[in-house]
């Protein structure tokens, strides 16, 4: 599995500091179709990320409320499924797609690639390649400031100070 992921990684033009959009654009160019990232407030029982493939383009839907580093991992995981052309079962019905993405015609959706079985070889392979891609882009890249609801801002800022991170930019 590691050899296959390493071989796939070698085919990508990933440089340190590359933006996730550059990865998406490269995969779209390989597939000859746009790949779009769709941040979304997903229901609790939904996967944290999944692919929707239509006749003309691919959509990577991911949890908008996740921290940026985890969002990147979710997106790269789905990118890995695209690169490996993993086949999976449809896990969301057309009515669920219509509810979550009303602007997308469910009749155009050919397949939804949301994985439920994290122990499958395809899932492990996608997670490994996603981690390798993330490591290649940057070993650690996250926004040091974060969004906090106004009513919790004072508490969070006090915790940051109490933990000895006075230099931390804190909350927005």
What's the mean pLDDT in 30-42? 93
Give Cα separations from 38 to 10, 27, 88 (angstroms).
27, 16, 20
pLDDT value at residue 156: 79
At 114, is the pLDDT very low, low, confident or very high (cuts 50, 70, 90)?
very low
Please write the tens of the pLDDT for every residue from 84-94. Answer: 988 755 545 56
- On the question of pLDDT at 5 being above 60, the answer is yes
| Domain over 2-141 is classified CATH 3.30.750 | no
> Residue 60 and residue 79: Cα distance in Å, rounded?
8
Task: Please report which confidence band the pLDDT of residue 152 belongs to, taking 50, 70 and 90 as the band edges.
Answer: confident
Domain ranges of the chain: 2-141, 145-172
């Amino acid at each position: 599995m590691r050899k296959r992921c390493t071989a796939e990684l070698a085919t990508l033009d990933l440089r340190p500091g590359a933006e996730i959009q550059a990865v998406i654009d490269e995969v779209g160019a390989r597939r000859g179709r746009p790949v779009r990232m769709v941040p979304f407030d997903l229901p609790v029982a939904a996967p944290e990320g999944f692919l929707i493939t239509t006749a003309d383009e691919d959509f990577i839907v991911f949890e908008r409320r996740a921290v940026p580093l985890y969002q990147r991992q979710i997106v790269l995981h789905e990118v890995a499924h695209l690169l490996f052309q993993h086949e999976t079962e449809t896990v969301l019905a057309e009515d669920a797609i219509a509810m979550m993405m009303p602007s997308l015609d469910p009749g155009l959706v050919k397949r939804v690639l949301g994985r439920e079985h994290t122990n499958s070889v395809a899932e492990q392979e996608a997670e490994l390649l996603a981690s390798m891609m993330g490591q290649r882009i940057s070993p650690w890249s996250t926004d040091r400031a974060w969004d906090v609801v106004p009513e919790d801002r004072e508490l969070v800022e006090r915790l940051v100070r109490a933990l000895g991170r006075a230099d931390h930019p804190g909350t927005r």
